[in-house]
Amino acid sequence: MVTSLKGRHCLTLTEFTREELNFIIETSFQLKQRYLAGERVIPILIGRHLAMIFEKPSTRTRISFETAMRELGGNAIYLSSQELQLARGETIEDTARVISRYVDGVMARVFEHWKIEKLAMYSRVPVINGLSDLHHPCQALSDAMTIMEKKGRNIEKLKIVFVGDGGDNVLHSLMLAVGILGGKLTISSPPGYDPHPSVIKLFNEYATGNYEIERDPYKAVEKADVVYTDVWVSMGQEKERERRIRDLEPYRVTVDLMKNAKPDAIFMHCLPAKRGEEVVDEVIDGKWSVVWDQAENRKHAQKALLALIIP
C-alpha cells in the first residue's frame, strides 16, 4: 500500500519505489480521463504556488507545468535565471532558502545536475527536476505512462529499445523508470556513448529490472515493442556537433530500422526532434509514431506528480 508522497522531492525517480511509481502513473491516467471528460479544473492545489526556475529554454516543460498547476487550482510562477539574484551572484543555497518560504513547490530546469541537488538540500518544499544534464525524470514519467497506455500495464513483458546517444539525460531517466518498474531496456549506441557511471550506479541500487547494450541497431530493434530516440546534439554540446553526427549516423531511426521491430511497434521521441538526423520524417510522422500523445502526457503525468507531492 502506498503511503503519502507529500513533501517528496523528484530529482531522479529513485525517490520512489516500484509501487509508488506505478501509483503516480495510475493517478496520471485518472487525471487524464477526468480532463478528457470535461473536468478541466480539479481543485486539489487551491492556494498553492509552484516556482519554475529556468536556466535553459523550454516549450513542453514550461507549458505542461504551468497548465498542470492551473488545472489543479494552483498557480505557477515563471522565473528565468536572469530574473533572479542568481544572475548577480546569490548562492543556490540562499535562493532555495528564500524561495521555499514563498511557494509550495519548486521546479527547476538547469544545466548541471548538482544545482538541482543543492536546491533540494536547502529547500523547505518539494523540488522537481525539470531537466538537468544527467536526468529528465518528468519526461520518463510521461514515457512510462505512454508505453503503458499504448502497450498495456505489464511493462516488464515488453521489449523497449533506445537507439542513439546512451549518455543522454532522457535515456538515463527512461533507463531508471523502466528498471524500477521491473522492465528491461536495450540500449543501442556506439562505443563512447554509454550511460553515465553515476546512472549505472543508481540503476544497480534501485532497479529490479535490467538493461543491455547492443551496438548493432538492427539487432537491437529486432522484435521490439517500443523504439525510442532523442537528439544527438543537446544544448551545450554544439562544439561536439560534427563528431557526434559522424559517430551516431548509423543509429538514425529510418523506415528500414522500424521494419525490424514488431509490426505493431511504436516510435517515441521526447522532442524537439532534429528531423533528418536522429529520425526521418517518414517515421516521426508515420504509422509507428506516438510522439504527440507522448508530449500531451507530459501535462497529465506532471499533474499527478504535483498533486501527490505538494503538501
Please indicate whether residue 230 is annotated as part of the active site. Answer: yes
Please indicate whether residue 33 is annotated as part of the active site. Answer: no
Helix locations, the chain, DSSP H: 18-36, 60-71, 92-99, 113-122, 137-151, 169-180, 197-206, 217-220, 241-248, 255-258, 281-284, 291-309
Which one of 104, 139, 143, 294 is the catalytic residue?
Answer: 139
Which one of 10, 113, 230, 244 is the catalytic residue?
Answer: 230
Tell me the C-alpha to C-alpha distance, in Å, between residue 292 and each of 143, 156, 283. Answer: 12, 24, 13
Which one of 113, 136, 269, 300 is the catalytic residue?
Answer: 136
Name the grid cell of 30. 485518472
Judged on CB neighbours under 10 Å (0-12, 13-18, 19+), 245 is middle
Which one of 9, 48, 60, 109 is the catalytic residue?
Answer: 109
- How far apart CA 138 and CA 116 sit, in angstroms, is 14
Q: Which residue carries 515563471 as its cell?
A: 78
- How far apart CA 108 and CA 53 sit, in angstroms, is 5
3-state secondary structure 62-131: HHHHHHHHHHCCCEEEEEEHHHCHHHHCCCHHHHHHHHCCCCCEEEEECCCHHHHHHHHHHCCCCEEEEE
Show Cβ contacts of residue 172 under 8 Å, excluding neighbours closer than 6 positions.
134, 135, 136, 195, 196, 199
Any idea what the Cα angle at residue 273 is, between residues 265 and 305, rounded to 5°?
A: 75
Please indicate whether residue 139 is annotated as part of the active site. Answer: yes
Which one of 165, 244, 270, 294 is the catalytic residue?
Answer: 270
Please indicate whether residue 270 is annotated as part of the active site. Answer: yes
Which one of 9, 48, 252, 298 is the catalytic residue?
Answer: 298
Please indicate whether residue 104 is annotated as part of the active site. Answer: no
Please indicate whether residue 10 is annotated as part of the active site. Answer: no
Would you name the residues annotated as active-site residues?
109, 136, 139, 230, 270, 298
